[in-house]
Amino acid sequence: MCRLKRGLFFLLLAPILIFSQNTLTISAKNVASSDGYIAVGVYNNSESFLKEDRVFAGVFEASKKGNTIIKIPNLPNGTYAISIFHDENGNKKLDTNFLGIPKEPCAFSNAKMKTFGPPDFEDCLFEISKDFEIEIPFE
């Protein structure tokens, strides 16, 4: 009887452990002004990375000069990459020049812009298996 109870307990606990939800806290550092928003895109695979219509989780948070804190709740355990930009004019899109180069500050988790474009998904990866905090500086 005791083994049956123990087995039932682990059977009921397994979905909680597998599908546990975590809060991601992002600290956007070196924000130049309180104008506009800090836009955050969280991606969970390379095919969707930097495609705004395929973001796994995203948010626009009011910008705060210096340091803006953004919380994204309910992320399952997994591997993610983040892109952020300072939407200085508040139009909720990343403004670019005629070559597609961003005119507004942008940054990534664990990586920097390359000479000829953004980093790859693999350059930006991090794992979440519990509540997680990450700092992403604008440079």
- Beta strands 57-62; 106-108: pairing state: unpaired
- Higher pLDDT among residues 137 and 99, named by residue: 137
pLDDT in tens, 7-47: 445 545 455 455 568 999 999 999 999 999 999 999 999 99
Is 118:52 a contact under the CB 8 Å cutoff? no
pLDDT for 3: 54
pLDDT in tens, 99-131: 888 999 999 999 988 888 899 999 999 999 999
Residue 96: count other Cβ atoms within 10 Å of its Cβ: 12
Question: pTM score, two decimals?
Answer: 0.83
The answer to which of 5-9, 59-63, 64-68, 118-122 has the lowest mean pLDDT is 5-9
Burial class (CB in 10 A: 0-12, 13-18, 19+), 125: middle
Residue 25: count other Cβ atoms within 10 Å of its Cβ: 15
pLDDT for 15: 53
Residues 22-137: name the CATH superfamily.
Immunoglobulins (2.60.40.10)
pLDDT for 1: 46
Beta bridge pairs of residue 21: 76
**Mean pLDDT calculated for residue range 89-103:** 93
pLDDT for 12: 52
